[in-house]
Amino acid sequence: MVLLLAVFLVFGALHLRIAQLQLLEGSHWRRMAENNRLRRLPLAAVRGRIYDRRGHVLADNLPTWNLLLFPDEARNLGETVLFVASLGVSEASDLHRRVNQRGIDRLAPMVVGENLDWEQVTRIRAHQSDHPELSVVAGFRREYPLGPATAHAVGHLRLVSQEDIDLDPQLDPNSRVGAIGIEALAEDFLSGRPGERWVVVSAVGRQLGVVRESSSSSGKDLAVTLDAELQQIAAEALGERSGAVAAIDPRNGAVRVLYSAPSFDPGLFSGKLSPEDWKRLAEDPRHPLQDRCLQGTYPPGSTIKPFLALAALAEGVVSPDWTVQCTGGVVLYGHRFRCWRRWGHGMVDLSRSLEASCDVYYYQLGQRLGIDRMALWLEIFGLGRRTGIGLPSEAAGLVGNPEWSRRVRGTPWYPGEAVSVSIGQGPVLTTAIQLARAFAVLANGGRLVTPHVVVDPDNPSPVDLALNTNDLAKINRGLELVVHGEHGTARSLARLPVAGKTGTAQVVRLTEGIDSDDLAPHLQHHAWFVGWAPIDDPRLVIALVVEHGGGGGSIAAPTAAAIFSAALDEARESQASQGPGE
């Protein structure tokens, strides 16, 4: 019968199809079945903690729930996106964009929610059978107990970039790495290696068992040289003002404080940074993201004077007994250069020049030294070049000279500029960490240390600058008088065993007849104080700059006082000798 024959022909075709699927393509489909049921889950490696020198936690990990999306398992990604958005863990538009912009790694799981609360977790679990593509996994969220007080120094995290993955294909594209600060500097040490777990998963997303697992290896904990308490005191001392505090141990260069104001909450970067938060940070006119300790370059002002004095003594262009008559100004190259003290200082010797910060003395001293020797010596003290602290994005600053002027600026060098340089103005820019390091040379008897936040045998050892100890002692005596002398510019610190130098960095040049107090706030001078304590056994150098803070003596020195007095607390010091990081 025709009908029966036709039916059998069709049956034959079906049978051929079965043979094709089962016999010819059997192994292919079996592999597909394996892929179906096996799922790779990344196991987050616990990032190492960061401790300060006394064991206070600077960076910690909080356990948290994250939501993973396996895009290949989703039946309808659009619907999944809406479901995830309805949980409030992510924005639909943002999620849509990420889902659509998946790269080569289309099928890799992606983190679509972080830091889920318990209610969100239970809601996902309740809808697990509708959404087998979603998986709640345990993770860690980076936490910074001191928050803004250590934001720039300790740093924060960021999502790995495509470049990071190109360099290290093993990286989980959902993981985070250090973006700035110690987090970035010690990334390899802190990060550990993520593991992976292959689990059998049913179509409704239930994990039925582990097939194989390579455990993650945790990152190592790191003790750094920072002092959490001093960081906080520095943050309090600067308060609402913009500025920077860099403090190092002059004996070895161990960094105790790196605080930049205004600061921000580094924990914002541990999770998904909302566009609003990012906008607020990036567009803040006070630039909280900038690290003023390492990236803020300012004219050093009068804080440059001890180094020029040392240079002049070393070069033999002046003797310690050399004196200058200060009448409140001097005419050089047909231009009158004023002393900050309008009515002058009278007879000024080396010691008095530092104590009272006489500008005219240094105009004359600079004339004798000449710009090339000034520039050379400033660089010997580490000014205008990177300190090698190791933290990312350190600025070099600048020490100008005629050659630089031709090559970089493309204009000839004006002799008057050398006059400005001799009081730390004009084409000379330094960072707070550079000045801290330069003053450490004075405090430790002539050795140039390399600032560092991590104690490492590979850290460069101090370089002896072979300075004349008598010259050094004379300079230091002058710096002691700055605080304790009758004419000192930092007498507000007199109750503390501190030696140092104030500085006032002009933002604009003052013309005759205009007083600095008349300037608009954003044109006000930057105020410096750089000094060390205790005087005879220096253990801490602080370089502090207050942006638009007016005079160094009136603003910067009192601010430094708070930090010095905390640092000098005997009880803390005895404790510190037992702590790590020495």
Partner 1 sequence: MEHRIDAWLILAVVGILGASLVTQNAVTEVVGTQLLARQLLWACGGMLTLLALSRVRLDLYARLAPLVYIGGLAALVAVLFFGEIRSGTRGWFAVGPLTLQPSEFARVATILMVAAWLGRRSGGGLSAKEAAVVVALVGATAGLVALEPDLGVTLTYLPVAVTALWLGGLPRWAWIGLILLAMIIGFGAWHTVLKDFQKERVLTVLDPERDPYGHGYQVRQSKIAVGSGGVAGQGVGHGSQSLLRYLPAQHTDFAFAVWAEATGFVGATGLLLGYALMLYRIGMAAAVAENRHGLVLAILVGSWLAFQVVINLGMVLGLLPTTGITLPLFSYGGSSLLSTCAALGVVQSVWRHRLVNQ
Where along the sequence are the contacts to partner 1 (CB under 8 A)?
A: 1, 3-4, 7-8, 10-11, 14-15, 17-19, 21-23, 25-30, 32-34, 36-37, 72-76, 200-204, 208
Which residues have a Cβ under 8 Å from the Cβ of 295 and sit 6 or more positions away?
A: 393, 394, 395, 431
The answer to whether 437 touches 463, Cβ cutoff 8 Å, is no
CA neighbor of 356 nearest in space, from 344, 365, 368, 364 = 344
Return the number of the residue (201 or 442) whose C-beta is nearest partner 1.
201
325 three-state secondary structure: strand
- Give the separation between CA 57 and CA 356, rounded to whole angstroms: 43
Return the number of the residue (79 or 582) whose C-beta is nearest partner 1.
79
CA angle (271, 272, 278) in 5-degree steps: 115
Return the number of the residue (23 or 571) whose C-beta is nearest partner 1.
23
CB of 29 to partner 1, least distance (A): 2
Return the number of the residue (100 or 511) whose C-beta is nearest partner 1.
100
CA neighbor of 254 nearest in space, from 520, 452, 503 = 452
Amino acid at 380: I
Return the number of the residue (23 or 331) whose C-beta is nearest partner 1.
23
Which residues have a Cβ under 8 Å from the Cβ of 414 and sit 6 or more positions away?
A: none
CA neighbor of 436 nearest in space, from 569, 316, 574, 300 = 300
CB of 87 to partner 1, least distance (A): 21
Q: Across-strand partners of 110?
A: 69
Render 474-516 in DSSP notation, one character per residue: HHHHHHHHHHHSTT-TTGGGTTS--EEEEEEE-SSPPPTT--G
CA neighbor of 43 nearest in space, from 116, 188, 115, 140 = 140
Count of residues making up the chain: 582
CB of 8 to partner 1, least distance (A): 6
CA neighbor of 153 nearest in space, from 422, 453, 548 = 453
- Give the separation between CA 235 and CA 229, rounded to whole angstroms: 10
Which residues have a Cβ under 8 Å from the Cβ of 215 and sit 6 or more positions away?
A: 43, 195
Return the number of the residue (73 or 229) whose C-beta is nearest partner 1.
73
Pick the catalytic residue from 191, 260, 302, 353: 302
- Give the separation between CA 332 and CA 487, rounded to whole angstroms: 27
Return the number of the residue (6 or 408) whose C-beta is nearest partner 1.
6
The gap from C-alpha 383 to its chain's centroid, in whole angstroms, comes to 19
DSSP state of 452: B
CB of 204 to partner 1, least distance (A): 6
CB of 4 to partner 1, least distance (A): 4
CA angle (213, 219, 224) in 5-degree steps: 175
The answer to whether 349 touches 308, Cβ cutoff 8 Å, is no
CA neighbor of 540 nearest in space, from 311, 254, 331 = 254
The answer to whether 89 touches 120, Cβ cutoff 8 Å, is yes
Start-end of H helices in 284-388: 305-315, 350-355, 359-369, 371-380
CB of 127 to partner 1, least distance (A): 16
65 three-state secondary structure: strand
| Beta-carbon count within 10 A of 561 CB | 21
CB of 81 to partner 1, least distance (A): 14
Return the number of the residue (35 or 161) whose C-beta is nearest partner 1.
35
CA angle (238, 243, 247) in 5-degree steps: 80
Return the number of the residue (37 or 220) whose C-beta is nearest partner 1.
37
302 as an active site residue: the answer is yes
CB of 3 to partner 1, least distance (A): 7
CB of 125 to partner 1, least distance (A): 17
Return the number of the residue (11 or 278) whose C-beta is nearest partner 1.
11
CB of 95 to partner 1, least distance (A): 17
Active site residues: 302
